[in-house]
Structure 1
Amino acid sequence: MKPKKNPNVEIGRNSSLYFAIGLNLMLLLSWRMLEFKTYDKEVVSIDVVEVESEFEEEIPIVNQIAPPPPPPPPVSIQENLQIVEDAVEVEETIIESTEITQEDAIADVVVDVSDVEVEEVEEDVQVAFAVIEDVPVFPGCEGLSKAKTKACFQKKIQEHVVKHFTYPEAALELGIQGRVSVIFMIDSKGYVTGIRSRGPDKLLEKEAERIIGLLPQMQPGKQRGKPVKVSYAVPIFFKYEGL
């Protein structure tokens, strides 16, 4: 028995393919419809603009020829010639050469040692208190050994600071306290010079310099038997129980 339908012309064989193509076309159409935008059209009145042509007059360029400047006034040159008789004889200056030639003889001069004068120049030597051979002698420390003289000097400095110590009133009111380091110099004559200080405030520095400035004259320190400058540093503490 022969089949009634031709298998090559079966309609439902590619139905799924047709369905997918139709679905994609519908989705594409729907997407384009959703993305479609419309804009409000405004009524724009277009007027006719009438432009009149302006006539520009061409101005001819005229080159003005400036007249030449007037000639300068003639300069009158007056020649005043004075004839002077050649009555004064001029002496010519003879310039002698200062170059030495082989013909010139050099005199042999012998200088004795006794004829040479040697000037002694005093050196400004400065030695620290810690390495000085002979420390300065404070009044009241005479006749002691080197070690005792050094200890006596330091003790007298401390007593001097305590004796003349005065706390500045302005520093008390402002509550200023701290340590002031004072460096000074005992020159070759025993006077105190070159006082410098460093501390927390100018008020305390000024008071510390005043105390050191009251030091008396001492016997100068010596290095190799000669008086020299000696540098010394002393700390001064400014502190009271109220702070």
Structure 2
Amino acid sequence: MLPIKKNPEIEIGRNSSLYFAIGLNLMLFFSWQALEYKTYEKSEVEIDVLTIEAEREEEIPVININTPPPPPPPIAYSESIQIVDDVVEVEETIMESSETNQNEAISNTDKGVIGVSDVKVVYVEEDVEVAFAVIEDVPVYPGCEGLSKSETKDCFQRKVQEHVIKNFNYPETALQMGIQGRVSVIFIIDSKGVTTGIRSRGPDKILEREAERIIGLLPKMQPGKQRGKPVRVAYAVPIYFKYQER
């Protein structure tokens, strides 16, 4: 008896790897769909019926306003005109022109003409202010008379310094408060030699007042001159307020 041979066409195990791959892909596809599946909550929607009532139109009563009657038409007055003969002659006033012409101006040259010699010219001296550094003739401090221009200038500066040292007085209030510093004082020696226009700038008002007091005690001097005429001369001097701690 011959052995039975298997039919190769109906052999199941031959395509087992293909079937396994197809089944694996199907399982992966279903797993992916299961993971991607989304559910949403169902919300309840209430549907109401909106009823709109017809708007009532109110009847507005008509009110008759008593308006005043129009004013009566103007009354026409009849004027009676009576022509009367002139009895009194009225003289008309003749208005003469007040304008003048060239002929009239020439004809009046002989009457009240003002000549050039009758005009008085008043010269007003200008109050010029010149800085001390550029003045031709500096003010002469008492005791500096009879010197040259350069010597007079040096003498003036030396005398001002001596005056500051002689009249210097440190304010007690500034000492107690510990105030010190430099005070710049600017003043003017006017055309009469008097010290005016004192201004100062410093660290405190107490020191400024003391510096102005010292400069205000300057004596009267011979005024400075520019081109031979007395002028105002501006001068500046520093005053140092400094104390030594013990």
Amino acid at match of 2:16: G
Question: Does the C-alpha gap of structure 1 residues 31 and 229 become closer, same or farther in structure 2, counting only changes over 3 Å?
Answer: same
TM-score normalised by length of structure 2: 0.71
Question: Does the C-alpha gap of structure 1 residues 72 and 197 become closer, same or farther in structure 2, counting only changes over 3 Å?
Answer: farther
| Structure 1 gap segments, 5+ residues each | 74-84
| Deviation at residue 88 of structure 1 after TM alignment | 7.1
132, 152, 168: which one pairs with 1:129? 132
| Deviation at residue 206 of structure 1 after TM alignment | 1.4
Deviations along 1:90-149, one digit per CA (max 9) or x if unpaired, are 533211543548x9869999x987666543221221111111111101111111121111
| Deviation at residue 6 of structure 1 after TM alignment | 2.9
| Deviation at residue 211 of structure 1 after TM alignment | 1.0
| Deviation at residue 21 of structure 1 after TM alignment | 3.5
Matched residues, number: 222
Distance 1:12 1:99 in 2: 143
1:24 has 2:36 as partner: no
Question: Does the C-alpha gap of structure 1 residues 198 and 17 become closer, same or farther in structure 2, counting only changes over 3 Å?
Answer: farther
| Deviation at residue 208 of structure 1 after TM alignment | 1.0
Deviations along 1:193-238, one digit per CA (max 9) or x if unpaired, are 1111111111111111111111111000011111111100000111
211, 214, 220: which one pairs with 1:208? 211
Structure 2 residue aligned with 1:172 = 175
Question: Does the C-alpha gap of structure 1 residues 106 and 23 become closer, same or farther in structure 2, counting only changes over 3 Å?
Answer: farther
Question: Does the C-alpha gap of structure 1 residues 71 and 115 become closer, same or farther in structure 2, counting only changes over 3 Å?
Answer: same
| Deviation at residue 17 of structure 1 after TM alignment | 4.0
Alignment map for 1:63-74 (pairs within 5 Å): 63-69=62-68
1:12 has 2:16 as partner: yes
| Deviation at residue 58 of structure 1 after TM alignment | 5.4
| Structure 2 gap segments, 5+ residues each | 73-86
| Other structure's SS at 1:6 match | helix
Amino acid at match of 2:97: I
Distance 2:57 2:161 in 1: 107
Question: RMSD over aligned Cα, in angstroms?
Answer: 4.3
Structure 2 residue aligned with 1:76 = none
TM-score normalised by length of structure 1: 0.72
| Deviation at residue 87 of structure 1 after TM alignment | 8.1
| Other structure's SS at 1:185 match | strand
Percent identical residues = 54
Alignment map for 1:171-190 (pairs within 5 Å): 171-190=174-193
128, 151, 156: which one pairs with 1:153? 156
| Deviation at residue 69 of structure 1 after TM alignment | 3.4
Distance 1:20 1:214 in 2: 119
| Deviation at residue 37 of structure 1 after TM alignment | 7.0
| Other structure's SS at 1:180 match | strand
Distance 1:7 1:197 in 2: 128
Deviations along 1:134-169, one digit per CA (max 9) or x if unpaired, are 110111111112111111111111111111112222
